[in-house]
Structure 1
Amino acid sequence: MRRIDLIVVHCSATRCNQSFPVTALIRCHADRFGFTGYHYYITRDGTVTQTRHEQLIGAHARGYNSHSLGVCYEGGLDKEGQPADTRTRNQKRSLLSLLKKLKRAHPEARILGHRDLPGVHKACPCFDAQNEYQDL
């Protein structure tokens, strides 16, 4: 059984006015990695899809994949393509619910945004996940 001590929150880095359904994510990651790199994906309507089994190592945070889970929400860019917190009300609810569930299953895990990892120079997930979920 894989020991999980980190839950990394990501955005898909897609514009808020363009659809990026789970099928597109899977196809994009299959082309890039040969498999889906995130463990969970949350679309704009709040639907949570497990895209990779938790016991399988993902491809979402270089240097941290072996002991982390990757959770991604659809969006992260405004209409002009600039980083922004584009989470819908439904995404916020679903993300909070999923993170609570994951923390119950992996109580030692810290929740961080991708941008909070050392050496990462991205805005992802385009909001302060570490601060928002620090009390979980």
Structure 2
Amino acid sequence: MRSIKYLVLHCTATPQNTTIESIKNYWKNTLGWKSPGYHFMIKADGEVVNTLPIEQISNGVAGYNTPSIHISYIGGVDQNEKPIDNRTDAQKASQIKLLKELRKKFPNAEIKGHRDFPKVNKACPSFDVKAWLKSINF
């Protein structure tokens, strides 16, 4: 098993009704990626879909993928494609549950947002991860 230093939260920066299949097709056909961008994607109804085994490396944050597990919720932008925290209550609950499960396996892993890494110039995951974690007493 890889040594995991980070549990990274993302948004897909798509409408909340975007299908996982269309996101995977974008990665493969538009970006030319061989592996998915995230290990887990969370649908608007809270369903968690494992898109890549955690033993494998995904394409979540350039330069930080080897020690990371990537988790994304579907959404993160408004109708004008501006960043917005539009997570549903179900998505938030699923994030918390998944993070707790992963912290049991990787107790020293730091939870960060994509935008919290050096040289990242994007709003992803469209919310302040540290403030959110404090607000839920995680």
* Residue segments in structure 2 that go unaligned for 5+ positions in a row: none
Q: What SS is found at the alignment partner of 1:81?
A: coil
Please tell me the root mean square deviation across aligned C-alpha atoms, in Å: 1.3
> Is the Cα–Cα contact under 8 Å of residues 35 and 57 in structure 2 kept in the other structure?
no
Identity fraction in percent: 38
- Counterpart CA distance in 2 for 1:112 and 1:91 is 17
Alignment of structure 1 residues 26-105 onto 2, 5 Å: 26-31=24-29, 32=31, 33-105=33-105
> Is the Cα–Cα contact under 8 Å of residues 77 and 83 in structure 2 kept in the other structure?
yes
Amino acid at match of 1:90: A
* Residue segments in structure 1 that go unaligned for 5+ positions in a row: none
- Counterpart CA distance in 2 for 1:42 and 1:117 is 22
**Of 103-112 and 27-36, the range deviating more from structure 2:** 27-36
Number of residue pairs aligned between Structure 1 and Structure 2: 134
The residue aligned with 1:123 is 123
TM value normalised by structure 1: 0.93
Deviation at 1:35, TM superposition (A): 2.4
Deviation at 1:129, TM superposition (A): 1.2
Q: What SS is found at the alignment partner of 1:98?
A: helix
Amino acid at match of 1:45: D
TM value normalised by structure 2: 0.91
Deviations 1:34-76 (A, max 9, x none): 2212100001111100100101011010110010011010000
